[in-house]
Amino acid sequence: MIDAWILDWLNVGFRWVHLIAGIGWIGTSLYFMWLDAALIRNDPSRPDVEGHTWLLHSGGFYLVERRKLPPGQLPAPIHWFKWEAAMTWLTGFALLVIVYYLTRGVYLVDPAISAIGPGQAVALGIGLLVVAWAVYDLVWSSPLARDGGRAATVLSWALLLAVVYGLTRVLSGRAAYIHTGAMLGTIMVANVWMRIVPAQRDQIAAATAGRTPDATLATRAKQRSTHNSYVTFPVIFMMLSHHYPLTYGHRLNWLVLWLLIVVGAGVRHVMIAREHGRRADWWLVPVAAAVAAVVYLTSPAWLGAATRGGERVAFDAANTVIAHRCVSCHSERPSDDIFRIAPNGVTFDTPESIRARAETIRMRVAILKNMPLANKTGMTDAERDLLARWVDQGAAIDVRTRGR
């Protein structure tokens, strides 16, 4: 096993590059989408210019033109914008390995969800990335993709929702979310490299040879780039989702993610329509409904944060449970084999430090039940209930037992 300290620094390095590459990739694709919409297209005196627009950025004026290439002429250099996608995928995959595959399953599996072992979960994760692309590409190369691709669209969305549901039944909530993101991210990058870039190569070859580019390649590339744009916002959420235990840790985490996919793709739909001079603003209605549903589902009212009755719990008892189940990780000196430093800097070594986080403890232990991580320390339901009652009763640090 690679030393935790090395893994931590690899994590920092890859994540840093991942973000920069991802921002570059998504940034340029949003920019080009916008640019296509912003072009002014009416200069009959210059038939080779499809459109132009003036931009002002960082102290300079830029004239951007979209043009047909004159036959047999290829300008140089041409910038392609394809490495950002590749870099984003490579660093993202490295992060998946570092965070999820080399940590003995703590983030990957959850015994309360399924009995799958870490090794099987890794195989499932990697298999998913490969199979998902193959299936998606097959669907969109099949007759289902004809006539505007309505059938293929319905099937693709249905498959995506099925994958979300399926993964949340097998992997930890957090891993289910990240693998859905990784799957979509893989499809996006494969779209770029295997469907869009070849079409661009053909355009270049056509321009050099003075022939017209292959229309099927071009249409398919356009279609794939539209797909990419729809999943972009949902994927960005999935990549950030590990910060939000309330989403992935929810009892109905699959439904929460479905709703957030509707939000992300719906917003994108409205934007894309506007960029093409159409209006699809009515889509904001399902988007708003999905937001409202998510807010409600994750509210204390739904989660049932109601005060528990039952016997009074002394701090002593709560502290004993925490000492047994939590401080192996959450301590100034963790004894855990993976967490050598207290996760998120959260320690439970003193009564005050426990009381200060009482509400979050109840949330993670009794409502979301995603602490202890992967239930590594074997916490029982009775113990979860005990901690929740202690918090509900005011999380008092009983004076008599202080400093235990």
Piece of 61-69, 209-217, 359-367, 396-404 that binds ligand HEC (CB under 6 A):
359-367
Separation of alpha carbons 250 and 372, rounded Å: 15
Q: Could you tell me if 46 and 34 are in contact, meaning their C-beta atoms sit under 8 angstroms apart?
A: no
Contacts of 400 (CB under 8 A, 6+ apart): none
Piece of 36-44, 163-171, 190-198, 340-348 that binds ligand HEC (CB under 6 A):
340-348
Piece of 120-128, 179-187, 274-282, 353-361 that binds ligand HEC (CB under 6 A):
353-361
Residue 350 binding ligand HEC, by CB under 6 A: no
# residues near ligand HEC by CB under 6 A: 24
Binding mask 365-384 for ligand HEC (x = CB under 6 A): x-----xxx--xx-x-----
Question: Closest Cα partner for 175 from 248, 258, 120, 114?
Answer: 248
Residue 313 binding ligand HEC, by CB under 6 A: no
Residue 329 binding ligand HEC, by CB under 6 A: yes
Residue 344 binding ligand HEC, by CB under 6 A: yes
CA 240-367-251 angle, 5° bins: 65
Residue 355 binding ligand HEC, by CB under 6 A: no
Least CB distance from residue 356 to ligand HEC, whole Å? 10
Give residues 216-275 in contact with ligand HEC (rule: CB under 6 A). Answer: 245
Identify which of residues 262 and 326 has a Cβ nearer to ligand HEC in the complex: 326
Least CB distance from residue 314 to ligand HEC, whole Å? 17
Identify which of residues 129 and 367 has a Cβ nearer to ligand HEC in the complex: 367
Question: Closest Cα partner for 228 from 268, 276, 200, 257?
Answer: 268
Amino acid identity of 396?
A
Q: Which of 336, 390, 391, 395 binds ligand HEC (CB under 6 A)?
A: 336
Can you read off the two tokens belonging to residue 210?
A: 């003075």
Identify which of residues 84 and 336 has a Cβ nearer to ligand HEC in the complex: 336
Q: Which of 184, 326, 358, 366 binds ligand HEC (CB under 6 A)?
A: 326
CA distances 295 to 177, 205, 276, 287, 305, Å, are: 18, 52, 32, 12, 15
Identify which of residues 116 and 373 has a Cβ nearer to ligand HEC in the complex: 373
Residue 118 binding ligand HEC, by CB under 6 A: no
Contacts of 298 (CB under 8 A, 6+ apart): 246, 247, 250, 256
Least CB distance from residue 117 to ligand HEC, whole Å? 17
Q: Which of 98, 106, 259, 395 binds ligand HEC (CB under 6 A)?
A: 106
Residue 343 binding ligand HEC, by CB under 6 A: yes
Question: Closest Cα partner for 173 from 120, 228, 232, 252?
Answer: 252
Contacts of 200 (CB under 8 A, 6+ apart): 80, 221
Amino acid identity of 347?
T
Q: Could you tell me if 237 and 183 are in contact, meaning their C-beta atoms sit under 8 angstroms apart?
A: no
CA 282-285-291 angle, 5° bins: 145
Please give the residue ranges that form the binding site for ligand HEC (CB under 6 A).
Answer: 106, 245, 322, 325-326, 328-330, 336, 339, 343-344, 346, 357, 360-361, 364-365, 371-373, 376-377, 379
